[in-house]
Chains A and B, each alone.
Chain A
Amino acid sequence: MIIKTLLSGDLPRSRILSAMLLAVLIGLILAPFVFPGARSLNVAATICVFVVLVASYDLLLGYTGVVSFAHTMFYGIGAYGVGLALNGMGPSWWAVFVGTSGALALSLVLALVIGLFSLRVKAIFYAMITLAVASAFAVLASQLSDFTGGEDGRTFRVPEMLQPGFRLLDTEILGRAIDGKLITYYLVFFSALALFLFMLRIVNSPFGRVLQAIRENDFRAEALGYRTVIYRTLANCLGALIATLAGVLMALWLRYVGPKTMLSFEVMTDILLIVVIGGMGTVYGAVIGSALFILAQNYLQVMMGKASVAMSGIPFLANLFHPDRWLLWLGVLFVLSVYFFPTGIVGRLRARALTRERP
């Protein structure tokens, strides 16, 4: 029953889903030992960060029905906060702390301002305003190059314990040196896990239920006496803070911050694709979606490249399957899933399990 408590009573409720979640969890825990190589560890860490990032976005989109395009901005604030602090103050935990808290404070203020400013009006208005603000922020980050490193971004040194050269033990375990990279990975993994469980708790708390009531019918929720603006703004702030933390983790992992990886609109579309395909309003959707998406991003493109080469005689088809065109197929999948599987993979699996139980 520890599991039940940990998962805040919100069990996967589908055998296939449980199996998939377990596979992801085990895969991520054992990644450094089972999948050696810098690339696969990078894939695993990216999955961890994206689970947090996407789930925090789901808090907004799936649980309150608010579409924000500013999520990458908060992610970027976290990354830049820690990156610039480490860059400026040198590689110490103190710098990590200062950068993180500064970033959290900035995110909170921005989320509050944007929220109070535009959440009172329609979802559509909020979507446009956040899009505008986020793009201005991205422009600023890439143009104020003295401060942020501009388009090139900034590399920085992390605290010694996290540096690849650092050895915790002299011996190897399961053929893997216990070095700074490994420690960083587990720092990322366990932080992500904790944040994920925290979000699971949030959405299953009374607070989360109010959010869902607002999503279903804000007119009625208001009539029941909930101040929808306040709840929405709170959800907005919470989502922003967690996204900021995801940014911190990513920066620590990459030892680099730059507008393309942290702030670009592509990251935002990735998040959207993952949430919808994984399953809005389920939190677990973030896990399944991120795992599938990041794996596909890293490995499917290779396969598409092969297909494209095989079809190189036929110009149009070769273009369709060019590895750079994988977003095309994802886009199509995205549109189809908004129509036909609005609850995404997780929603589907749960619905299936339900019909199985009660035929």
Chain B
Amino acid sequence: MTKILNVAPQDTALPKVRVDMVPLLLVPVLALLMLPLVGSFPTWVTLTVAGLAMGMMVFMMASGLTLIFGLMDVLNFGHGAFVSVGAFTATMVLLPMRSWVEADSVWMNLSVVGMAILLAMVVTGLLGWAFERIIIRPVYGLHLKQILITMGGMIVAEQLIHVIWGAEQIPLPLPTTFRGAFIIGDAALEKYRLIAVVVGLIVFVSMFLVLNRTKVGLLIRAGVENGEMVEALGYRIRTLFVGVFMAGSALAGLGGVMWGLYKETLTATIGAEITVLVFIVIIIGGLGSVGGCFIGAMLVALAANYAGFLAPKVALVSDILLMVTVLLWRPQGLYPVAKR
């Protein structure tokens, strides 16, 4: 065995702290580069806000998935089912309480949507708990079976949505005061998109705080890097994982409600359709990295919006192109997660 002698006295100066800034710059750089191409400033503002809004919603759906993968090496191909279930659960509040939705009062609108979100998150959270127990637990560490079985779970969930809520599309109108746009200068900013940005930021900041300031959060980050060591320190990583799985599912449910209101009609495949985008986002971000996932979501959504305006045909494949570009640059994604 050859030994690498690390000739370093106890307290050599450290290499400068390598907080990897480059990916952080990608979002503003992309936005600014597009400004001259788009040409008109108001249009650019509108497109950017639309992109950010979409990115935030995708982030809600993707962040849980990337953590679930990071922590237990489990990739849930059925994650989209939670998106669908969340959106459909919301109809159980929004449709019966139609008068609150249609009322011309911000408070009534906000509280009815708040209730819908709460119910959706509780239901998807509990469903996540059951899904982890029944579907995932028997196949820990078996990737092939995981992919197959979560895929099967997704098929079943989609069909059950049809059984419970019927096979028809369900219209899901936006609450009255959420419609329309603010006009600032010549730029039209749709209100709902701004709401989505705010909700997304709240989710991101809370996640950031939990992961950086609490013991549970630190344990999750530690577990993503080295779950065995977390166990050797005396913590049950399974318990941690169930919690993360539930939270991730609930976040997908939240994303589902937001996305459903954005599209204003629900089909059972709403989750499956977004799954591909969600996967692309977490691959771009680096599997297991929440920060990467956030940047990835913004990049993908902004690129889709700019491309949709500049070259609609390109928009069809803009996410794939983006993914390929990022992977050529960093094969493990923007923020590769150090593993074991």
Contacts and interface: CB of A to CB of B under 8 A. Distances in A.
Direct contact of A and B (CB under 8 A): yes
A133 B320 CA distance: 7
Contacts of A129: 283, 323
Contacts of A106: none
B75 to A, nearest CB: 5
Given A117-B327, A129-B283, A136 B148 contact: no
Interface in B119-163: 135, 138-139, 143-149, 151-153, 155-156, 159-160, 162-163
A18 interface: no
Interface stretch (B223-231, B240-248, B272-280): B272-280
A332 B155 CA distance: 9
Interface stretch (A178-186, A196-204, A247-255, A321-329): A321-329
Contact of A124 (B138, B143, B153, B276): B143
Interface string A135-159: 1100110011000000000000000
A335 B153 contact: yes
A136 B149 contact: no
B147 A335 contact: no
Given A132-B320, A325-B162, A327-B159, A338 B272 contact: no
A136 B319 contact: yes
A9 interface: no
Contacts of A325: 159, 162-163
Interface in A93-127: 117, 122-125, 127
A164 interface: no
Contacts of A122: 143
A331 B155 contact: yes
Contact of A128 (B75, B151, B317): B75
Contacts of B272: 265
A331 to B, nearest CB: 4
B152 A338 contact: yes
B32 interface: no
Given A124-B75, A132-B276, A328-B156, A139 B317 contact: yes
A308 to B, nearest CB: 11
A276 interface: yes
A131 B163 contact: no
Contacts of B152: 331, 334-335, 338
B162 A324 contact: yes
Interface in B266-294: 272, 275-276, 279-280, 283, 287
B316 A136 contact: yes
A334 B162 contact: no
A332 B153 CA distance: 8
Contacts of A334: 148, 152, 155
B18 interface: no
B205 interface: no
Interface in A291-336: 316, 319-320, 322, 324-325, 327-328, 330-332, 334-335
Contacts of A123: 143-144, 147
Contacts of A124: 69, 75, 143, 146-147
Contact of B280 (A127, A132, A144): A132
Contacts of A272: 148, 151
B77 interface: yes
Q: Which of A65, A123, A135 has the most CB of B within 10 A?
A: A135
Nearest to B165: A319
Given A136-B320, A276-B148, A338-B149, A128 B167 contact: no
Nearest to A142: B316
Most chain B C-beta atoms within 10 Å of own C-beta, residue among A127, A128, A143, A269? A128
Given A316-B163, A324-B162, A339 B319 contact: no
Contacts of B340: none
Nearest to B150: A335
Contacts of B144: 61, 65, 67, 123
A319 B323 contact: no
A12 interface: no
B313 interface: yes
A90 interface: no
A250 B2 CA distance: 60
Contacts of B135: 335
A299 to B, nearest CB: 19
Contacts of A61: 144
A61 B151 CA distance: 14
Contacts of A143: 313, 316
Interface string B292-326: 00000000000000000000010011011001000
Nearest to B157: A331
Given A324-B162, A328-B163, A342-B145, A335 B156 contact: yes
A140 B318 CA distance: 11
15 contacts: A61-B144, A67-B143, A67-B148, A117-B327, A123-B147, A269-B155, A319-B162, A319-B163, A320-B163, A322-B163, A327-B155, A328-B159, A328-B162, A334-B152, A339-B138
Interface of B: 69, 75, 77, 135, 138-139, 143-149, 151-153, 155-156, 159-160, 162-163, 166-167, 272, 275-276, 279-280, 283, 287, 313, 316-317, 319-320, 323, 327
Given A125-B287, A325-B163, A338-B148, 11 more contacts: A123-B147, A128-B279, A133-B320, A144-B313, A269-B151, A316-B163, A324-B167, A328-B156, A334-B155, A335-B156, A339-B138
